[in-house]
Chains A and B, each alone.
Chain A
């Protein structure tokens, strides 16, 4: 009894970090053999992000503002959302393969390892094309930050880092939950495709919606937390709603829920005995 307890203790954060590093290096090694793919994927990512930028340029060529948000406000929101969406792209991309693995039965091999199934499955893939998005998002973010004249102090910068990190939890939670539906519905890829389309919604201010949709996008598909709520800290610093300050906690809660849902699916998968 005592022994298992110490064993469990060893499996702390450090243990998982060292495992993650090892798996990551293996994955990157295999990715390096496709250098052209690395370049083209990142190019594709940047082109697709740039089209969002161009969309705003065209919109604001015709219209001065959207619901009180001007061009640079929107770019700030866009940059914020791109950075906050990078972790789900880079670290949680293996969710897209889950349904194939579950269907073919390959998934069972993850259940036989003496480490957390979710951790092991997710750590297997690091998606390099997220780096292109990160670079483009950071550029947009800084560009808008400068134009809005937000002061650069220790407080604002650390706020930015904390809110960016916690905002990323929301999309991760959404995609985890969407991927986990494949434990119940065969070939549920379309759920992921649709949820993935919602990520495009993150770049618009949630203030444009009516009450019903604002509620849906805040608490059911929490897309408004990806960029809108957290960036209010910088855009309207004198008038920050309570939800913004609570968003780190809500993010952790959503992530926990999605993790539990995912693991519930794994339990169910074990029992089918395939």
Chain B
């Protein structure tokens, strides 16, 4: 009971912190709108020049909904763990975090939880509702939304663990920007956030199926849109199962790597 209180205290602090920067939220929302307009014009041009309205099982509207929601999920999942960690190592602040009577990984996860909660309600949900109104029910609403929330939570955990696996690399290399860039690029491309996985050539897609990145964007979206694979109970369970396995595997791997890396930390001076 006491420990839950401690964790929710961190969540509350995160909520308050992210509510502070209201202007930032407005500007980000505005930027997203322009970005979505670009995505719209680009794919409209693509489908117009192609002649057929269904490509690889995706219509123009499917693609749009997929990409818009992927952007919303991107905003929801965005964490700056790699930056925060390298900054706190450079300033020596990390020692304070390590001295806290709480595991560092747990502490980081819960301090971010408030930000996620806010961005779910302030960016993801409004986007989702707007998309629903505009497309007039192209998104089926029912049990799939519940499964989507479960799936999204696991996507959050997987994404967090990927970050926590990559962040300690900075301890060894002293290069934050490059590492972060490589991670971001690979995750966004191979998870289907830039182009839906349905468009990938078969050979590449078969490889991508065995990677954890798909579980971050493609799986929650497929479940939400009730597309191929998620429209049967078996397919749904296998997707959620895959996500769960990745959660466990990445958590264990992240823990092991962090425990090894933390011994490498050298903080100069006080």
Number of interface residues of B (CB under 8 A): 41
Cα-based distance from A42 to B182 in the complex (angstroms)? 10
Beta-carbon contact of A66 and B182 below 8 Å: no
Proximity bits, B98-142, A CB within 8 Å = 1, else 0: 000000000000000000000000000000000000000000000
Beta-carbon contact of A41 and B175 below 8 Å: yes
Cα-based distance from A58 to B182 in the complex (angstroms)? 19
Dominant secondary structure at the A interface: helix
- A-B contact list, 5 entries, CB within 8 Å: A34-B175, A36-B174, A47-B185, A62-B50, A204-B38
Instruction: Answer whether residue B48 sits at the interface, using C-beta atoms and an 8 A cutoff.
Output: yes
Instruction: Answer whether residue A256 sits at the interface, using C-beta atoms and an 8 A cutoff.
Output: no
Instruction: Answer whether residue B189 sits at the interface, using C-beta atoms and an 8 A cutoff.
Output: yes
Task: Please indicate the chain A residues that have their CB under 8 angstroms from the CB of B201 in the complex.
Answer: 58, 61
Task: Please indicate the chain B residues that have their CB under 8 angstroms from the CB of A208 in the complex.
Answer: 41-42, 44-45
Task: Please indicate the chain A residues that have their CB under 8 angstroms from the CB of B41 in the complex.
Answer: 208-210, 213
Question: Which residues of chain B (187-212) have a CB below 8 Å from chain A?
Answer: 188-189, 194-195, 199-201, 204
Question: Which residues of chain A (45-69) have a CB below 8 Å from chain B?
Answer: 45, 47-48, 51, 54-55, 58-59, 61-68
Task: Please indicate the chain B residues that have their CB under 8 angstroms from the CB of A198 in the complex.
Answer: 34
Residue among B178, B181, B200 with most chain A CB within 10 A? B178
Instruction: Answer whether residue A191 sits at the interface, using C-beta atoms and an 8 A cutoff.
Output: yes
Proximity bits, A19-45, B CB within 8 Å = 1, else 0: 000000000000000101100111111
Contacts between the two chains (Cβ within 8 Å), count: 107
Instruction: Answer whether residue B59 sits at the interface, using C-beta atoms and an 8 A cutoff.
Output: no
Known contacts A36-B174, A37-B173, A63-B50; A44 and B179 CB within 8 A of each other: yes
CB closest chain-B residue, reference A45 = B181
Beta-carbon contact of B175 and A40 below 8 Å: yes
CB closest chain-A residue, reference B27 = A190
Cβ contact of A44, chosen from B34, B45, B177, B189, cutoff 8 A: B177
Cβ contact of A55, chosen from B21, B34, B180, B189, cutoff 8 A: B189
Instruction: Answer whether residue B241 sits at the interface, using C-beta atoms and an 8 A cutoff.
Output: no
Beta-carbon contact of B55 and A63 below 8 Å: yes
Beta-carbon contact of A51 and B185 below 8 Å: yes
Beta-carbon contact of A68 and B49 below 8 Å: yes
Cα-based distance from A90 to B37 in the complex (angstroms)? 30
Task: Please indicate the chain B residues that have their CB under 8 angstroms from the CB of A58 in the complex.
Answer: 195, 199-201, 204
Task: Please indicate the chain A residues that have their CB under 8 angstroms from the CB of B195 in the complex.
Answer: 55, 58-59
Beta-carbon contact of B45 and A41 below 8 Å: no
Cα-based distance from A194 to B23 in the complex (angstroms)? 13
Instruction: Answer whether residue A99 sits at the interface, using C-beta atoms and an 8 A cutoff.
Output: no
Known contacts A63-B46, A67-B48, A190-B28; A47 and B173 CB within 8 A of each other: no
Cα-based distance from A55 to B194 in the complex (angstroms)? 8
Question: Which residues of chain A (170-194) have a CB below 8 Å from chain B?
Answer: 185, 187, 190-191, 194
Task: Please indicate the chain A residues that have their CB under 8 angstroms from the CB of B21 in the complex.
Answer: 187, 190
Given A44-B178, A44-B180, A58-B204, 11 further pairs, Cβ under 8 A: A34-B174, A36-B174, A41-B175, A43-B178, A43-B182, A47-B181, A48-B181, A66-B42, A187-B21, A194-B30, A204-B38
Instruction: Answer whether residue A109 sits at the interface, using C-beta atoms and an 8 A cutoff.
Output: no
Known contacts A58-B195, A67-B45, A185-B23; A197 and B50 CB within 8 A of each other: no
Instruction: Answer whether residue B235 sits at the interface, using C-beta atoms and an 8 A cutoff.
Output: no
Task: Please indicate the chain B residues that have their CB under 8 angstroms from the CB of A187 in the complex.
Answer: 21, 24
Cα-based distance from A197 to B188 in the complex (angstroms)? 14
Beta-carbon contact of B27 and A37 below 8 Å: no
Task: Please indicate the chain A residues that have their CB under 8 angstroms from the CB of B45 in the complex.
Answer: 66-67, 208
Proximity bits, B17-48, A CB within 8 Å = 1, else 0: 00001011001101100110110011011101
Closest Cβ of chain A to B208, distance in Å, is: 11
Question: Which residues of chain A (196-253) have a CB below 8 Å from chain B?
Answer: 197-198, 201, 204, 208-210, 213, 216
Task: Please indicate the chain A residues that have their CB under 8 angstroms from the CB of B50 in the complex.
Answer: 62-64
Task: Please indicate the chain A residues that have their CB under 8 angstroms from the CB of B56 in the complex.
Answer: 62
Beta-carbon contact of B199 and A59 below 8 Å: yes
Cα-based distance from A175 to B243 in the complex (angstroms)? 40
Cα-based distance from A65 to B51 in the complex (angstroms)? 11
Instruction: Answer whether residue B4 sits at the interface, using C-beta atoms and an 8 A cutoff.
Output: no
